[in-house]
Amino acid sequence: MQTDERLHAAYLGSSIEDANVSCSVLFGQICIRTAVCLVRRGSNSAGFNRKVELMIDVHSHVLLPIWLKAASTAGEVPPGGTPEWSVEKHLAVMDRYGITASVLSWPRATHFLKGQAARDLAREINEELAGIVTQYPKKFGAFAALPLDDLNATVEEAVYALDVLGLDGISCSSNIDGAYLGDSRFDEWFAEMDRRAVTLFVHPALPKAVDQVASGINAAILEFMFDTTRMATNMVLSGAKRRFSNIRMICTHAGGTVPYLASRISVLEPIFGAGPNRPVQTAEQVLEGLGTFYFDLTASTAAAVLDALRHLVPPSQLLAGYDFPLMPETTIGPAIGQLERYPNFSTEERRMILTGTLASCFLGSPQRANWRSHAGGGRRVPPHEQCPRRLGKRWIALFADLTCFFWTKLCEKLSLERSFGYAEEAVQRGADRGGASSDRSVDVAGQGNACGLPGSRNFAAELLSRAQGIRRT
């Protein structure tokens, strides 16, 4: 009995020791991972202000108190309310994600008003935008809002916003009361914008029959994309895009479904025509027209979208955009990361998307030259990039995984050595007493070995061989 008790004690000692080693393995892995995180943080504390490429956000919105008041009075505030916005909060988000400058807009600002009320609201919003740009000329630009229910008032406000307030361009919606851009009723307005070579930022709106087709799905998910596609297609098939070719039109959200459908449109238009009283174009003319738009990449930085865009336009016609505050700031980092990981853009092409394309859209806006000098040729490194450039995030993760692997193997080896020690001691004591105790000691030795870490089971045969050798002697 005394030998069996010692054998059980040896077995329990091995189990406890193995449990301690398992805890050591886990603790060691936690320590290694923590150390890697501290290395990342430490490298960032030294390199947070390191200068890298600029980044300009072309798709950024404002929710001004004057608009919120007018919308509330008209019953136009969405049921869920609107996101909280202020200039200070916007600047803080830009700083967190390394955005050098943002172009503010609110394209459908007056859609719920008509006549003088729409004119007054557009004027107030544009003057507020001009005030923000004046206060922060190195951080903000702005596209003017227009009273789109009245084309004479639209032209008048556009001239005032560009010539007097010095705003950077015009914003409008893809359709105006159901009429899509490209319709002949907008020709006078477009002729003035073409004469001035205006940058026109076109944001999707709800289609006229949205309640019949949306199926209860939020319009931002599908209908906005389709409405942008209708607008761009109508601009090309109506011939307006060619007639007013000096207007730099920005299609938001990567042009909706335009990159995917461009080839189909070009194939079918020569067969079915461009619409009543419109001349039929060739497939080449259609593709050429669709390829004259600029496209922002708001919520559209997945590889499949970028691949489709690359077949339609060069990188010099792509722009960065993040749709804050209507899109939460948590979407900004992943969008930046997707664009930077996309393998088919060179460094120069990526730089063009982040800054160069937008700069070409603002050739008539000399104050925007300050954006580059403000950042000293670079921007602060945002949180998603906070790791040493020389090693890179993937190399650090690989280092951590390898370190954890070797730490685990080391602990397994220590566990095995202890298991052998306990087992051999138990068998030796059992052999000294002989008989059943010796047989019992071999069983306990095998059990003691099996209770170790998974790798220790590979050595069961060796351990039992040692135990049986001791018994025979």
Alpha carbon distances (Å) from 265 to 89, 128, 139, 268, 276: 42, 41, 40, 5, 17
CA angle 288, 238, 312 (to 5 degrees): 25
Classify residue 429 by its DSSP letter.
Answer: H
Residue 400 structural domain:
2-44+394-472
Give Cβ neighbours of residue 88 (< 8 Å, ≥ 6 apart): none
- Number of structural domains the chain divides into: 2
Give the tens place of pLDDT for each residue, 65-82. Answer: 999 999 999 998 877 789
In this structure, is the dihedral angle defined by the CA atoms of residues 111, 115, 121 and 125, taken in order, positive or negative?
positive
Residue 57, strand partner residues: 102
Residue type, 459: F
Same domain, 26 and 113: no
Same domain, 26 and 172: no
Residue type, 410: L
Q: Which of 385, 411, 428 is the last residue of a domain?
A: 385
Q: In the chain, which residues have pLDDT < 50?
A: 1-19, 21, 25, 35-52, 363-364, 373-393, 435-438, 440-442, 444-445, 448-460, 467, 470-471
CATH number of the domain that 160 lies in? 3.20.20.140
| Residue 159 within a domain | yes
| Residue 49 within a domain | no
Pair of tokens at residue 93: 């988000």
Give the tens place of pLDDT for each residue, 295-344. Answer: 999 999 999 999 999 999 999 999 999 999 999 999 999 999 999 999 99
CA 186 to chain CA centroid, nearest Å: 35
Residue 462's pLDDT is: 54
Alpha carbons within 13 angstroms on the beta-carbon side of residue 457 total 5
Residue type, 230: R
Same domain, 28 and 67: no
